[in-house]
Amino acid sequence: MKRTPQFITRSFCGKFLWDRLHSFFLLFLLANLLLIFSLVAEEPEKVLFRWKLTPGETVELNEYHRVQLVSQGRKIKREDKNRILLQTLSCQDQACLIEGFFDTYSRFPEVDPAFRKDKTFKSKFQITEIGQYRVPPQYSMPNLRSLPSFSEKPVSVGEEWTQPATESFQFPGGRVMITVHAKYKYHGLDQWQFQKLSGTADRIEYNYTLFYDSQTEKEGVPFKIYGFARGMVYFDRDLGIPQYKRIQLAYTFVYANGMTQEMSFDIHGVYNKNLKLTDIDKDKFAEEIRKVLAGELPTGIDSGTAPKKNQKVKPSREGLSWPEEEANQTKPETEKPSGPPVEIRRTDEGIAISLNSVLFDYNSSELKEEAKLELEKIASVLKKYSNREIRISGHTDNSGGEEYNRKLSRERALSVLKELRDKQDLDEKRMSYEGYGKSKPIADNSSLEGRQKNRRVDITIVME
């Protein structure tokens, strides 16, 4: 039997071991590389949420509320609309000073045909980068404060955090401030949709409960308050403001006399960021509107959707003329109106398109046929600026009684709103109405010309 030389055997064994070690090393290296790659690939994205406000910019928030009140077995439903304008004045030390304007509107669906302008609140407060509010005690607005507030550090999908917030309740007998602790959770990018609007942003959800138990009883203020809130915010990380929010609130108020009230709110809110318009910008808008109404500029609106001219409109079942009161029989609008039926001017709120009282019958809020033709033209302008709020306000001169004038001016404003809504297909949620009687003159009532200017209905395209 032939034997293999010793040196060949050792050489073969060494090569075999070397190859095995080399293969093992390669496999070990590959496994570690795959592990590293998988760890890198699986590491979740972290997002640092911060409010980004710049001096000179404004943030506009339009809120729509459905409200239900239950008291002593009676259920009342109400709809609210809030327009909130936040103007950034200055920023320093990771906080910005904000001047806020809060316009509120309301309607009771069973009795109100449209939103009525309610109140305007002004405020000045700070918002920090993480969303905490610092509101001086003299301001009641905003009433929901520091929502949403963010984590101090970046967060990934599924992470949670807790931040303090405050609810401010204003009652006839005084104000109640309640501190709560909102629990947040980040859910990642998601799509939202409300009415005809939609978008994609980072969805953050939160919830909290509140409890207030006063040791002292005060008239007009509940001594116990229970409540909870559930909110959803779609935050635009690039713009540094929310795009959309939805909040559901529920409260129980217990008074010392034994009365209990329950209130619930379902709130939708849409945000926009814009630069503040100057007076020169408003003048340019006003000139453009003049040219559109004069037919010198196209509106871009399909004229086929507008009603035909001279179309007879059947009067509404809700008669809008008011009987003369004894104190007013000879006073209001005894002078024949003159001048153009429509005038345009710049106001503090925006651009006002004024309808002369010649477009109404004497002592009536019924629109004349020529008024409806003018409103057809005006509707084309309002549709061109479809993202703008429309405020319709009625005004009179100083003749006649105050209550009479307020009623007449209110009903004239309402008849204009109805014409724009029912016959010109304008979105009701964009519009509100109110009558101010003789409280907001634009000219001197001591002259005939001044009184004629004061008898008007203003259709204001809000530019603030």
Q: How high is the pLDDT of residue 113? A: 83
Q: How high is the pLDDT of residue 339? A: 56
Q: How high is the pLDDT of residue 48? A: 96
Q: How high is the pLDDT of residue 20? A: 57
Please give the domain boundaries of the chain with CATH numbers for all domains.
Answer: 57-275 (2.30.230), 279-462 (3.30.1330.60)
d(CA 247, CA 227): 13
Q: CA separation (Å) from 214 to 137, 222, 226, 430?
A: 20, 8, 12, 41
Q: CA separation (Å) from 325 to 391, 401, 405, 407?
A: 28, 9, 11, 11
- Backbone phi and psi for residue 243, each to the nearest 5 degrees, phi listed first: -95, -40
Q: CA separation (Å) from 140 to 47, 171, 179, 254?
A: 33, 11, 15, 22
Q: How high is the pLDDT of residue 37? A: 57
Q: How high is the pLDDT of residue 237? A: 95
* Contact yes or no for 220/173 (Cβ under 8 A): yes
pTM of the model: 0.76
Q: How high is the pLDDT of residue 345? A: 85
Per-residue pLDDT of the chain in tens (464 residues, 90 and over written 9): 445 454 444 454 555 555 555 565 666 666 666 666 555 555 678 999 999 999 989 999 999 999 999 988 899 999 999 999 999 999 998 999 999 999 999 988 878 888 998 889 999 999 999 999 999 999 999 999 999 999 999 999 999 999 999 999 999 889 999 999 999 999 999 999 998 899 999 999 999 999 999 877 888 899 999 999 999 999 999 999 999 999 999 999 999 888 999 999 999 999 998 766 777 888 888 888 888 787 776 665 554 444 443 343 333 333 333 333 333 443 445 555 555 678 888 888 888 988 887 677 777 888 888 888 888 888 988 888 887 889 999 998 888 788 888 999 999 999 999 999 999 999 888 899 999 988 888 888 888 888 888 888 999 988 87
d(CA 385, CA 292): 12
Q: How high is the pLDDT of residue 8? A: 42
Q: CA separation (Å) from 35 to 7, 32, 42, 130, 404?
A: 42, 5, 10, 36, 82
